[in-house]
Structure formats: structure tokens, C-alpha cells
Amino acid sequence: MIVPVILSGGAGTRLWPVSRSAYPKPFMRMGDGQSLLYKTLDRALRLADGGTVLTVTGRDYYFLTRDEYANHPDADLDKLPFLLEPVGRNTAPAVVLAALHALEHCGADATLLILPADHLIRDLDAFVADAQRAAALAEDGWLVTFGMPPSSPETGFGYIRMGAEIAGREGREVAAFVEKPDRETAERYLAAGDHVWNSGMFCFRADALIAAAEKTCPDVLAAARACHASESGQSSPVEFAREAFLAQPDISIDYAIMERAKRVAVVPARFDWSDIGSWKAISDMDAETDSAGNRVQGQAIIVESENCYIQSDSRMVAAVGVKNLVIVDTGDAVLVADRERSQQVKIVVDRLRKDNHQAASFHKTVHRPWGSYTILEDGEDCKVKRLTVKPGHVLSLQLHNRRSEHWTVVNGTAKVRIGEREFLLNANESAYIPMNTVHRLENPTARDIHLIEVQCGDYFGEDDIVRLEDRYGRVQSKV
């Protein structure tokens, strides 16, 4: 049986300001409104025998990821178990842990289909067919990679040199994995036609993967077994002991297993593929442009400009007399980059992190298990937020030491507790929460509710939340 495993990690710093660590690349929405993560689940569900899809992701992304999954009409959340990483780790631990989990919970014949959550594939029929070819090879004990026939002499990917055809199957042996080449070498690969890009997608039986790990990286396997043994015992979400998790080596599945194992095969893909590695990749995606090659998502005015990609959430962007630019506006930050140099956007994020700047990690809209908030004003004398609470959700029972809050419901009906009082607050009604007063906000209705919160005080940090009870296990946490 095929058990897809979605690996959802990585900050996608080259896609700042849209991708940020608190809401990274897999959550990024494409032109059709679907996130990369949603699209990955969609692919996975087409192949999952019995509807089970494993997800390995960071603990901080658990609620967000579930929310994305819940949007899919075919998703049964009970069949979508999560393995939660206490911190980001490399792919070898993630994949080996997934294999151990699958052997225990999905059966000895589980064939894993490893899918990174931040790739874009549009020809789903071709993808399904290729994945089935890979699964057939995996059944025979091969460790299978998906190789992308190169369309350009790309120097940003690792390559796979293809070897002999595998008799009776549509796939080839892997002759060698090769490092990211220089331009000249990449051009030679492209011309020769015997090299494909290493896509980072794989297919293998769980038991075959474990058997290979036993030989190529016994240390990784031993550490993963110890970590697996530390599981909380719940079927989902699975949480690992932090110490045991961190004891695993930080190594990729490619280095730890694929490059060293025997019987490694490659299926040359017939589907289109992008790892959306940079703004250039997004701006290159085929979509309608104006006669000068400009493409706009959002609102923009373009005057005598060529080959620009402009994306703006809500603000007006004007481009005058410019060429080959990527302009991305997220309401709190704007990126202006040369299309061909958009890889260097990660340098921006490095600098923001060094300066401890909010815009490195958080968006104006911050997602929470119960919904989200958007910061409308962050002044010295007040902070103003727009809150959205999802149906049936509830914020923690909390108090603040350094601020009072004024809530005005602008849409829907909230259930509010302030001190010992509990009451309903309707649209166009407001409530006052004095400093140091226990309070709670709940959405008892079946649709989103919206509030404006005006905070008054002398400090408005998210760490001035004393949580007394929390449905989402955040009593110890600061956010």
C-alpha cells in the first residue's frame, strides 16, 4: 500500500517577504488561492491507499497545517497523522522516523512516497502515473528517486546520472548522484541527456528504507529508533522527546542513504515540476502577461516598464520606466529585486534576523490555533489588532500585567468572559478588560467572528500574556 509522507519544513527565505518563518513557503498561496501545502496534500490523496497520509512538520505549524488540510474536500483528518518535530531537522531523521511509524501503524507492506510540501506540479495525471511506476519499482525493493529532465543548464540543483534501464519496469538504475555543477558542466549534462535533476521526491518500501539505513547510516537509524521509542504514544499528533530528537544527526536523506545505498533507481518524470526556489521561478511560471511581458498579481500601475513581476496584497504599486524587476509587497514590507538575482533575497532575511527585525519571521497577520490577528497599529501609546476567531474556537484564559484591552465586535457574536462575568457580545458592542483581569474570548457560532482590539498601556509585547488555561497546550508557551 502507498503511504504518502509530506515533509513540510524549511523557511523558504528566498521567497521573503511572502515566506517568513512563522508562515513559511508551504503556506504560500498560488494564483488560484491554493497553498503549496494544500496542493501537495491533494497530490498525496490521489495516491494514498486507504486515504492515509503522514505529515512530518514542525510543532509550530501543526494547527496551521491541519487548517490547510481541513479545507480539502477529500481529507479525513483522522487519517492524516502528524509527526511533530520539536525543532527543524534535516530530511534523514524525518524520513526514517516516518518509516518506523509506518511500519508500526500502517503495516509491513507500506510503500512510502516522500513529497516535499513546497513543490509545484501541475500535470497531476502524469504525476500519478509516474508515482505508480515508482511504487512498482519500490515493490521490487528499489529505492526510487524522481528525476526531472532538465529544461535549462541549472546550477542550483543536484543531478542524477542515469544508468541502465531496469528490465520490465519503466525506470533506470542510478549511475551516480552528482553535486550542483558549474555552468559548463550543467550545459554538458543538458546536451548529453543522461542527467536529470534530483527532485527530492522518493519512493520506497518502509522496510527497504530501514534495511538500507542499517547499512549506510546505522547511527541515524539507532538515533531514530530511540526517538521513535520516545513517542508520546498518541497516534496523532506524535510528539517526540526533545532530547531524543536532537540526538539525531543533522543529515539529508540523500547523503545518509540514497547516495550510499544499493539498488537505487530513478524514474524520469513526465510531469512538470518547480521547487519555487526563488521569485524568478514564480515570475517565470507561464501565465498571462501584458504586451511588454509584465505580470501583476494585485493592483499596480505600470508605465513604460518591461518584464516585471509585481505582486501586492492590497497596496498600490507603481512601476515607471523599469525592466526585469520583481516587486513584491506584503503590506508591511516591499521587495524590489532584479529578476535574475532574486536568489540573493536570502541575504535580506539574514540581515533582518541579525537585526532581530520582526519582518524576518512574522507577517502583519499572525496565525494562531484559534484564528489570526492583524496588527493595524503598533504605537507607543496603543496597539490595535483585528482579531478573527474561527467557529468553535477559544483563546486561552489569560490576563495581562501591563495593558488593558477594549474589544469591539464588528462581525458576528462572541462569548466573552471578563473576571467572573460571562456574556455574549454582539456586533457593534464593545467590552473593556482592565489590566490584571482574567478574560477569555470564544466563538460559539458556526462562522468566523471579527473584533477590533485596542490595547492601552505601556507595553504591548506578545510575552505579556499570562495563560491560565489553553485548549492548544500553550500554558507554558509565550505565544
Integer CA distances (angstroms), 5 to 17, 40, 96, 159, 327, in order: 28, 10, 11, 23, 34
To the nearest 10°, the Cα dihedral for 130, 166, 182, 154? -20
CA angle 375, 380, 382 (to 5 degrees): 55
60 or 405: CB nearest a second copy: 405
For position 384 contacting a second copy by CB under 8 A, the verdict is yes
440/447 Cα distance (integer angstroms)? 18
Distance from C-alpha of 44 to C-alpha of 63, rounded to nearest angstrom: 19
- Contact pattern for a second copy over residues 414 through 433, marking x by CB under 8 A: -------------xx-x-x-
Q: Which of 164, 167, 320, 446 binds a second copy (CB under 8 A)?
A: 320
- In the three-class reduction of DSSP (H, G, I as helix; E, B as strand; rest coil), residue 280 is classed as helix
Residue 194 binds a second copy, judged by CB under 8 A? no
Q: Is 285 near a second copy (CB under 8 A)?
A: no
The C-alpha cell at 34 is 491554493
459 binds a second copy (CB under 8 A): no
Q: How far is the CB of 454 from a second copy (least distance, A)?
A: 5
Instruction: Check binding of 476 to a second copy (CB under 8 A).
Output: no
**Comparison of 314 and 476: residue with beta carbon closer to a second copy:** 314
Residue from the set 196, 359, 387, 399 that interacts with a second copy by CB under 8 A: 359
The answer to whether residue 233 forms part of the interface with a second copy (CB under 8 A) is: no
Work out whether 17 is an interface residue with a second copy (CB under 8 A). yes
- Spatial separation of the C-alpha atoms in residues 21 and 54, rounded to whole Å: 22
d(CA 294, CA 310): 8
Distance in angstroms (rounded) separating the CA atoms of residues 145 and 421: 60
Which residue, 339 or 474, has its beta carbon nearer to a second copy?
A: 339
Complex with a second copy: residue 251 or 410, whichever CB lies closer:
410
Q: Which is nearer to a second copy, 18 or 224 (CB)?
A: 18
Q: For residue 145, which of 57, 49, 273 has the smallest C-alpha distance? A: 273
Residue 227 or 348: the one with the smaller Cβ distance to a second copy is 348
Asked if residues 187 and 193 have their Cβ atoms less than 8 Å apart, the reply is no
Residues that bind a second copy (CB under 8 A): 16-17, 301, 303-304, 315-322, 325, 327, 329, 332-338, 340-342, 344-345, 347-348, 351-352, 357, 359, 376-377, 379, 381-382, 384, 386, 404, 406, 408, 410-411, 427-428, 430, 432, 450, 452, 454, 456-457
